[in-house]
Amino acid sequence: MIRGSIVALITPMHEDGTVDYQSLEQLVEFHVNAGSHGVVAVGTTGESATLPVDEHVKVVETVVKQAAGRIKVLAGNGANSTSEAIELTKLMANSGIDAFLNVTPYYNKPSQKGLIAHFEAIAECSDIPQILYNVPGRCAVDLLPEAVAHLSKHPKIIGIKEATGSIERLKEIKALVPNDFSLLSGDDETSFAFLQNGGHGVISVTANVAPAEIASICNLCAEGQYAQAKEIDDNLQVLHRDLFVESNPVPVKWAMYRMNKIKHCVFRLPLLPPEPNSQKVIEQALRQSGFIND
């Protein structure tokens, strides 16, 4: 089972927009040392939408090599074209990852039957386990609990990152899937409640900034120590909120730059660095939660 704190890893870049592989390796080491249970390479937070296939694969391979089996590595393999997602999946089949993270196909708005057929076709093309990723706020399609229940019967589909932020949705899914089906929060603001209500872990944007804290929350919740976990989470609520002051991953990448964890805050168009007012909001959140002091 995939569980615990999984970091939705950013992809650092040089000033010319090329991937900064040295900084990427340093980030992986940072998360290993902080006690994270895993990372997602080139998920949506890793700017998968603007990385061509060759870079996508190289980033994943770099993360796997640096992790060296010390933490789990998941790789984003989603696309709005099933054939494209299958191609990407096959290219990473021998990369050494532990699982794929497969986002719902965006823009097309398929039916529930179409979603099921999409995910099953991708699962059939590789022996590596697949984790579903439901984020209707970004993809304009919602993978409903009944469809998740159907997909959970597939031997290669082992969990879901559920990013609706709804605890009722978690309860619905939990009642329909096997006990060993990984239930992972994809919404930082409600992630503690998700864990408290039977979730197994988080795939977290905030964990880029606060890996030790998010890992501690997951560990404490696994032990039933919810009061201690809530105390940590309460201090992170400002980050959970303000790291989304603009579209992800713009604020979190700027936060990592402000914390000197990456050399440059560079994106590929159409993304740009955050507006000055947003930078002030993010800085204040970092100060309030204790991650910068200047």
Task: Pick the catalytic residue from 72, 106, 109, 161.
Answer: 161
257 is annotated as an active-site residue: no
In a domain, 272, yes or no: no
Task: Give yes or no for residue 294 having a pLDDT over 90.
Answer: no
In a domain, 231, yes or no: no
Percent of the chain with pLDDT over 70: 100
Residue 1 tokens read as 């089972």
Residue-wise pLDDT tens digits, 173-205: 999 999 999 999 999 999 999 999 999 999 999
Number of domains in the chain: 1
Residue-wise pLDDT tens digits, 80-118: 999 999 999 999 999 999 999 999 999 999 999 999 999
pLDDT band at 43 (very low <50, low <70, confident <90, very high): very high
In a domain, 166, yes or no: yes
Mean pLDDT over all residues of the chain? Answer: 97
Annotated binding-site residue? 167: no
Q: What average pLDDT score do residues 259-269 get?
A: 96
CB-based contacts of 40: which residues, under 8 Å, 6+ apart? 6, 7, 8, 9, 46, 74, 75, 76, 101, 203
* 128: containing domain: 4-223
In a domain, 208, yes or no: yes
Residue 258 tokens read as 């402000």
Residues constituting the chain: 294
In a domain, 264, yes or no: no
Annotated binding-site residue? 45: yes
133 is annotated as an active-site residue: yes
Predicted local distance difference test score (pLDDT) of residue 206:
98
pLDDT band at 125 (very low <50, low <70, confident <90, very high): very high
Predicted local distance difference test score (pLDDT) of residue 139:
93
Calpha distance 262→287 (Å, rounded): 18
In a domain, 31, yes or no: yes
In a domain, 256, yes or no: no
- CATH number of the domain where residue 68 is located: 3.20.20.70
pLDDT band at 23 (very low <50, low <70, confident <90, very high): very high
In a domain, 144, yes or no: yes
Task: Pick the catalytic residue from 133, 156, 253, 257.
Answer: 133
